Amino acid sequence: MAKAVLGVIGGSGVYDLSLLTEVEELRIESPWGEPSANPIQGFIGGTRVVFMPRHGAGHRLGPSDINYRANIDVLKRAGVTDLISISACGSYREELPPGMFVLVDQFIDRTFARKTSFFGAGCVAHVSFSDPVAPNLVARLARAAAEEGVPHVVGGSYVCMEGPQFSTRAESVAYKAMGASVVGMTNMPEAKLAREAELPYATVAMVTDYDAWRPHEVGVGVAEILQVMRENGDKARRLLARFASEFPQEHEACPIGSDRALDFALVTAPEHRDPDLLKKLDAIAGRVLRPS
């Protein structure tokens, strides 16, 4: 088995990981364009961690500007075997108040202006995505949260909207009626691309607000969200420190096969594959494209 390397994608309010030791900035070229930032490598306990701030230094990029493909590609090239996302989110449930950490297990994709796949004309692939989150990572996150006394729930659906504007009240009521637990703007297509890259993925969705479905409340605003994010910062750091330091040294096989997602996914016949696209896919799909 390969050595485990933990990837962490930090969202709003999480632009660096002060927890890391032996910190090094990696410079990795990607055929998919510019990532949000150069990834930062370091250690938490004995675990190698590679960190990527999703919105770039100083929160330079909005949710629709992020090059999700380049981010996932450089994390894969950096040797990441398992990927955790940290995200701010709005809540659709009274019992998920600001400050609650939701370890979601489902996504609803409402985005429409993003590149959603590494594959396409010249190399078509269809990965399974019915279970988008790696249950072993969720179990480990839940254990770390419990050990650190961080309020959390396991399970829930994250609806990903395009943004950057927050929802109208009508949209908010509709997403709640769809059964969503939380809303954000970034986990799609990130989770889809992680699956294509055979990276087991889980997200820590940190509730910052109740979105706009409660008629008696003023709507959601970014100032309030950033304030709650600051308050959540210490809990997020403790959770991550505990999670990473207890992470197994060897990559543990994903129980739902996220780390073998491409085994049967490629449908384009080898003689019809586009060599230029295959070259771009060297990191993402090299395991199944390289002749053994």
Q: Are 221 and 90 in contact (CB under 8 A)?
A: no
Residue nearest to ligand LNRAV4D5 (CB): 11
How many helices (H) and strands (E) the chain has is answered by: 7, 11
Nearer to ligand ADE, 132 or 184 (CB): 184
Q: Are 192 and 119 in contact (CB under 8 A)?
A: no
| 235 is an interface residue for ligand LNRAV4D5 by CB under 6 A | no
Which partner, ligand LNRAV4D5, ligand ADE, none, binds residue 90 by CB below 5 to 8 Å per kind?
A: ligand ADE
Nearest one of 45, 54, 47 to 74, comparing CA atoms: 54
Touching ligand ADE, residues 180-209 (CB under 6 A): 183-185, 208-209
Nearer to ligand ADE, 81 or 186 (CB): 186
Among the listed residues 51, 107, 119, 166, the single contact to ligand ADE using CB under 6 A: 166
State the Cα–Cα distance between residues 174 and 179, nearest whole angstrom: 9
The SS3 call for residue 215 is coil
State the Cα–Cα distance between residues 153 and 100, nearest whole angstrom: 8
Shortest Å distance, C-beta 102 to ligand LNRAV4D5: 12
Nearer to ligand LNRAV4D5, 222 or 256 (CB): 222
* Residue 211 designated active-site: yes
Ramachandran area for residue 164 (φ above 0: left; ψ -120 to 50: alpha; else beta): alpha
Size, binding site for ligand LNRAV4D5 by CB under 6 A:
13
Strand 40-44 relative to strand 21-25, pairing: antiparallel
**209 annotated as belonging to a binding site for a ligand:** yes
| 39 is an interface residue for ligand ADE by CB under 6 A | no
State the Cα–Cα distance between residues 236 and 89, nearest whole angstrom: 14
**216 annotated as belonging to a binding site for a ligand:** no
Nearer to ligand LNRAV4D5, 54 or 110 (CB): 54
Sorted by sequence, the CB contacts under 8 Å of residue 24 that are 6+ apart come out as: 40, 41, 42
Q: Of 73, 82, 211, 259, which is the active-site residue? A: 211
Q: Examine residue 248 and say whether the peptide bond preceding it is cis (omega within 30 degrees of 0).
A: no
Shortest Å distance, C-beta 142 to ligand ADE: 22
* CB count in 10 Å sphere of residue 245: 14
202 exposure class (CB count in 10 Å sphere: 0-12, 13-18, 19+): buried
Q: Where are the alpha helices (DSSP H) in 11-119?
A: 68-77
| 156 is an interface residue for ligand LNRAV4D5 by CB under 6 A | no
Touching ligand LNRAV4D5, residues 71-100 (CB under 6 A): 87-88
Shortest Å distance, C-beta 81 to ligand ADE: 28
Which span sits near ligand LNRAV4D5 by CB under 6 A: 38-46, 104-112, 143-151, 180-188?
Answer: 180-188
**210 annotated as belonging to a binding site for a ligand:** yes
**54 annotated as belonging to a binding site for a ligand:** yes
Which residues contribute to the annotated binding site for substrate? 185, 209-211
Binding residues vs ligand LNRAV4D5 (CB under 6 A)? 11-12, 54-55, 63, 87-88, 163, 184-186, 222, 225
Just list the catalytic residues: 209, 211
Binding residues vs ligand ADE (CB under 6 A)? 88-90, 166, 183-185, 208-209, 211, 220, 225
